[in-house]
């Protein structure tokens, strides 16, 4: 039987998730949509057979016709909807960030702990990407010895004029921060941020940005964010271990050799690079939701990412190394 899904916030990624729920994956029916821009919600609903438009996200969540909720509105609004979904006892898939403040992330954790079981999956899709899964398996196998350094690069060809230097951390490097925790199976303890000479394509933006994250077990994580690099959307990752190195391969399926050169396509955006990872991520959420359960990246993972990006923003402002202080991890999240 299909999971009846309601989607809140039907902009770019909301529509992309609706496409995968209705055209790519199995086991879902999108029965409800909502957006502060009502005309946008109506346009999207028109393309779906039988989807109802709700004036507010809260009404959508409360509706008996909705079994599970996807939150793809702007980050500032996520916590309200996630808390409402928990109160209604419904599984919720929330795009990153879980919430924009540590306080709101903690409120989500408290609500879920009070509910007694997990209801929230956060949209850190890299954990479902075959390349990162293989990298983690290599580390776990011991093939390169204990991991010492994770070098991560997150490059976007361009960003809109509204993009700020802080978004390089909060909106972009947040994925690398979560990936580091996933690969190293460890928590961060401090963060420092430096910027080299600016890319002239970014105007006053501090771009690139270089983040150094220190992990509890002593490993170091370097994160380069370059968001005006023109040539493509290039995601790079390398683990330096005690006896070897493992790196993400290029993501294109073929290389072409011609006229004494070899070449391959570089993806141009996150949809192209992580398309398959998004499919696997949302399918995993659906399978669990059909059982009334939730797996995948948790509210705890969303909370830690926000604590680190908060610390990183303070590190940009002060130029200092900023400690990362986490609350005690509730038992609900220890095995996930």
Annotate each residue in 120-159 with x if it binds ligand NAD (CB under 6 A) or - if it does not, as one string: ---x-x----------------------------------
Eight-state DSSP code of residue 158: -
Contacts by 62-67, CB closer than 8 A, 24 or more apart: 62/88, 63/6, 63/32, 65/4, 65/6, 65/31, 65/32, 66/4, 66/5, 66/6, 66/31, 66/32, 66/90, 67/3, 67/4, 67/5, 67/91, 67/289
What whole-number distance in Å separates Cα of residue 30 and Cα of residue 1?
A: 13
Binding partner of residue 11 among ligand NAD, ligand ISE, none, CB cut-off 5 to 8 Å per kind: ligand NAD
175 binds ligand ISE, rule: CB under 6 A: yes
Neighbours of 40 (CB within 10 A): 17
- Residue 72 binds which entry of ligand ISE, ligand NAD, none, CB below 5-8 Å type-dependent: ligand NAD
Spell out, one character per residue from 171 to 210, where the chain touches ligand NAD: x when CB under 6 A holds, - when not: x---------------------------------------
> Is 156 a residue that touches ligand ISE (CB under 6 A)?
yes
Helix or strand holding residue 226 (H, E): strand 220-226
Cα 101 from Cα 96, distance rounded (Å): 12
Report the DSSP beta bridge partners of residue 53.
33
Window 235-294: residues binding ligand NAD (CB under 6 A): 270
CB atoms inside a 10 Å sphere around CB 323: 12
Antiparallel, parallel or unpaired: β 147-155 and 245-247: unpaired
Quick check: 281 binds ligand ISE (CB under 6 A)? no
320 is a site residue for ligand NAD (CB under 6 A): no
Q: What is the closest distance, in whole angstroms, from the C-beta atom of residue 258 to ligand ISE in the complex? A: 30
- Closest distance to ligand ISE from the beta carbon of 167 (Å): 7
C-alpha of 272 from chain center = 15
Q: Between 46 and 271, whose beta carbon lies closer to ligand ISE?
A: 271
Positions touching ligand ISE (CB under 6 A) are 156, 171-172, 175, 270
Positions touching ligand NAD (CB under 6 A) are 8-14, 34-37, 40, 57, 72-75, 77, 95-96, 123, 125, 171, 270
């Amino acid at each position: 039987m299909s999971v009846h899904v309601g989607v809140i916030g039907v902009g770019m990624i909301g529509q992309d998730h609706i496409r995968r729920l209705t055209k790519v994956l199995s086991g879902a029916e999108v029965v409800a949509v909502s957006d502060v821009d009502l005309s946008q919600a109506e346009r999207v609903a028109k393309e779906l057979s039988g989807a109802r438009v709700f004036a507010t996200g809260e009404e959508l969540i409360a509706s008996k016709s909705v079994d599970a909720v996807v939150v793809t509105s702007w980050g500032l609004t996520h916590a309200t909807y996630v808390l409402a979904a928990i109160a209604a006892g419904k599984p919720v898939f929330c795009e990153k960030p879980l919430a924009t403040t540590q306080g709101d992330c903690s409120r989500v954790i408290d609500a879920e702990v009070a509910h007694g079981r997990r209801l929230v999956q956060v949209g850190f899709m890299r954990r479902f990407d075959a390349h990162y899964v293989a990298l983690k398996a290599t580390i776990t196998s011991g093939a390169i010895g204990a991991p010492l350094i994770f070098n991560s690069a997150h490059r976007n060809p361009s960003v809109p004029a509204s993009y700020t230097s802080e978004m390089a951390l909060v909106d972009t490097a947040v994925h690398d921060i979560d990936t580091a925790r996933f690969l190293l199976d460890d928590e961060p303890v401090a963060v420092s941020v430096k910027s080299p000479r600016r890319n002239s394509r970014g105007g006053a933006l501090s771009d690139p940005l270089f983040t150094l994250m220190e992990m509890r077990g002593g490993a170091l994580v370097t994160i380069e964010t370059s968001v005006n690099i023109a040539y493509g959307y290039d995601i790079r990752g390398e683990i330096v271990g005690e006896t070897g190195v493992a790196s993400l391969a290029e993501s294109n399926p073929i290389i072409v050799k011609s006229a004494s050169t070899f070449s391959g396509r570089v993806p141009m955006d996150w949809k192209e690079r992580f398309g398959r990872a998004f499919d696997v991520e949302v399918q995993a959420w659906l399978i669990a939701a059909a059982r009334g359960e939730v797996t995948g990246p948790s509210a705890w993972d969303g909370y830690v990412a926000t604590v680190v990006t908060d610390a990183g923003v303070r590190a940009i402002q002060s130029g200092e190394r900023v400690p990362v202080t986490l609350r005690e991890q509730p038992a609900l999240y220890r095995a996930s």
